[in-house]
Amino acid sequence: MREAPIGVFDSGVGGLSVLAEIQRLLPNETLLYVADCGNIPYGEKTPEFIQQRCSVMAGFFQSQGAKALVLACNTATVAGVADLRRDYPQWPIVGMEPAVKPAAAATRSGVVGVLATTGTLQSAKFAALLDRFATDVQVITQPCPGLVELIENGDLHSPALRQLLESYVRPLLGAGADTIILGCTHYPFLKPLLRQMIPDDISLIDTGAAVARQLQRLLAERDLLADGPARATEFWTSADKEHFANILPILWNTAGVVRSFEG
């Protein structure tokens, strides 16, 4: 069971940023990744639809013999993680949430900016995070329509992307934010571009590394950490597998075999 794989999924390619953190921390683990690109963005879907997709993903990873599940998507976590933990009580399941707590602890100016999807910012879970951890800081939220779609096409550098990103970052800087939360798994891919736009003393915080650490803790508690060596990472997508294969080297830094996900 220790050598069984770990299943990771997102509505698109953004979860590859989380997958990279898991691979970095747990190099002996074999990873499976499903990009539900045929249904992106989840943020525009109903909670019931997202719950159904989460259930489909869980069933698929069970059929693949996965020993753990990671929801590498804030929107999927908000809608579906509670149901999955109820339906699979013995399965280590790790979800995502915007890094409000560490950002509130890190800020010196007392102003925290949040770049996120509209769905995440409107969710009750995000509101609860603010109520719990951000009572002593000012939080400036910035919805970022359009960013996910550009990153899904492998665009990390174009003038159009830069202009869009600058328009979202400018209000946060103007409000005095010295800490910016990257509240979507796609956004860590924009860190190099963001670093060109913001002063060096502004912190960028995402949750990929924290997810990897939580996964490590849960596996260790159950004596499920693999001894290695890991098998090659396997990829599936519910959209065009050739498109996914073409942008995989851009976002994953290596090529890989991509299969069609029929679920």
Asked if 98 contacts 180 with a C-beta cutoff of 8 angstroms, the reply is no
Tell me the H-state helices in the chain. Answer: 16-25, 47-63, 74-87, 100-106, 118-121, 124-133, 147-152, 159-174, 191-197, 208-221, 241-252
Tokens encoding 209: 């590394």
Tokens encoding 117: 């999807």
Catalytic-labelled residue, pool 37, 54, 144, 184: 184
Active site residue 54: no
Active site residue 184: yes
Task: Give the burial string for 205-223 (b: 16+ CB within 10 Å, else e).
Answer: bbbbbbbbeebbebbeeee
Give the three-state DSSP class for 86: helix
**Binding-site residues:** 10-11, 42-43, 74-75, 185-186
**Binding-site residues for substrate:** 10-11, 42-43, 74-75, 185-186
Euclidean distance between CA atoms 8 and 170, whole angstroms: 33
Euclidean distance between CA atoms 177 and 202, whole angstroms: 8
> What's the N-to-C CA distance of the chain in angstroms?
25
List CB contacts of 202: < 8 A, sequence separation 6 or more.
173, 177, 178, 179, 180
Catalytic-labelled residue, pool 37, 54, 73, 144: 73
Task: Kindly list the distances between the CA atom of residue 235 and the CA atoms of 12, 19, 96, 216, in Å, as whole numbers in the listed order.
Answer: 12, 11, 20, 21
Asked if 185 contacts 209 with a C-beta cutoff of 8 angstroms, the reply is no
Q: How many CA atoms lie within 13 A of 152 on its CB side?
A: 20
Instruction: Supply the residues annotated as catalytic.
Output: 73, 184
